[in-house]
Amino acid sequence: MRVEVDRARCEGHGMCEDACPEVFRLDDDGELEILMDRIPDELRRKAESAVRLCPVAALTVRTD
């Protein structure tokens, strides 16, 4: 599993970072960084929850 961010939609609310700081981080400019190319199984549920919390639906889960 991996997560993609739509940078045009992301407004830097940081709810994803609050929910799963192992995977998401806002940099000093408020830009979202995804810290892992592939999300390990032990963080999957936490990362999926963070994706659902995004108020502007800027995150997408990919399972390819």
| Whole-angstrom distance, CA of residue 7 vs CA of residue 3 | 12
Q: Which amino acid is at 6?
A: D
pLDDT computed for residue 64 by the predictor: 79
pTM of the model: 0.92
pLDDT computed for residue 42 by the predictor: 97
Please choose, from the candidates 52, 55, 11, the residue with its C-alpha nearest in 3D space to the C-alpha of residue 32.
Answer: 11
Q: What is the pLDDT along the chain (64 residues), one digit of tens a residue?
A: 999 999 999 999 999 999 999 999 999 999 999 999 999 999 999 999 999 999 999 999 999 7
Cβ atoms 46, 36 nearer than 8 A: no
pLDDT computed for residue 22 by the predictor: 98
Give the pairing of strands 24-26 and 32-34.
antiparallel
Domain architecture of the chain: domains with CATH: 2-62 (3.30.70.20)
Residue in the block written with tokens 């399972």: 63
